[in-house]
Structure 1
Amino acid sequence: MQRAGYAAVAAALILIAAKLSAWAYTGSVSVLTTLVDSLLDAGASLLNLLAIRHALTPADNEHRFGHGKAEGLAALAQAAFIFGSAIFLMLQAGERFSNQHIVENSSVGIGVMIFSILTTFVLTRYQHYVVKETGSVAIQADALHYVGDMIVNGVVILALVLGFYFDLPWIDPVFALAISLYILTYAWGVLKKALDMLMDRELDDGERARIENLILAHEEVLGVHDIRTRISGPDLFIQFHMELDGAISLAQSYDIAEEVDREICQIYPHAEIIVLQEPYGIEVQKTILKKKKSAEPGDETANAG
Structure 2
Amino acid sequence: MQVSAYLKLSVAVALVTIALKTGAWWWTGSVSLAADALESFVNLAGALFALAMVTIARRPADADHPFGHHKAEYFSSGFEGVLIIGAALGIAWAALQRLLAPQPVQGLDLGLALSLVSTLLNGSLAWAMLRNARVHRSMALEADARHLFTDVWTSIGVMLGLLGVWATGLLWLDPLIALLVAANILREGAHLVWRSSQGLMDEALDAATQAQIQQVLDGFAQPRLIRFDHVASRNAGRRRFVDLHMHMPAGWSLGRAAALRGTVEQALMDAVPGLRASIQLLPLDVEAEAVKDEQMTDESKQEQAR
TM-score (norm. length: structure 1): 0.87
Output the CA distance in 1 between the equivalents of 2:50 and 2:221. Answer: 42
Moved more, 116-125 or 128-137: 128-137
Output the CA distance in 1 between the equivalents of 2:196 and 2:278. Answer: 24
1:288: how far off?
9.6
Does the Cα contact within 8 Å between 2:81 and 2:190 map onto a contact in 1? yes
Output the CA distance in 1 between the equivalents of 2:256 and 2:107. Answer: 76
The correspondence of residues 44-123 of structure 1 with structure 2, limited to 5 A, is 44-123=46-125
Where does residue 275 of structure 1 map in the other structure?
Answer: 279
Output the CA distance in 2 between the equivalents of 1:215 and 1:169. Answer: 64
Does 1:257 pair with 2:249?
no
Does the Cα contact within 8 Å between 2:73 and 2:139 map onto a contact in 1? no
Output the CA distance in 2 between the equivalents of 1:267 and 1:43. Answer: 37
Where does residue 301 of structure 2 map in the other structure?
Answer: none
The count of aligned residue pairs is 293
Kindly provide the amino acid, as one letter, of the partner of residue 227 in structure 2: G
Where does residue 161 of structure 2 map in the other structure?
Answer: 159
Does the Cα contact within 8 Å between 2:247 and 2:282 map onto a contact in 1? yes
Does the Cα contact within 8 Å between 1:102 and 1:163 map onto a contact in 2? no
Output the CA distance in 1 between the equivalents of 2:54 and 2:174. Answer: 37
Where does residue 224 of structure 1 map in the other structure?
Answer: 228
SS in 2 for 1:67: coil
Kindly provide the amino acid, as one letter, of the partner of residue 234 in structure 2: R
Residue 139 of structure 2: which of 119, 137, 140 is its match?
Answer: 137
Alpha carbons of structure 1 residues 280 and 97: separation in structure 2 relative to 1, 3 Å:
same
Alpha carbons of structure 1 residues 208 and 132: separation in structure 2 relative to 1, 3 Å:
closer
Identity of aligned pairs, percent?
25
Does the Cα contact within 8 Å between 2:129 and 2:145 map onto a contact in 1? yes
Output the CA distance in 2 between the equivalents of 1:290 and 1:117. Answer: 54
Where does residue 19 of structure 1 map in the other structure?
Answer: 21
TM-score (norm. length: structure 2): 0.87
Unaligned stretches of 5+ residues in structure 2: 297-306
Does the Cα contact within 8 Å between 1:212 and 1:224 map onto a contact in 2? no
Write the deviation string for residues 257-289 of structure 1: whole angstroms up to 9, x where unpaired: 222222222332212221112222423999999
The alignment's C-alpha RMSD in Å is 2.7
Where does residue 202 of structure 1 map in the other structure?
Answer: 204
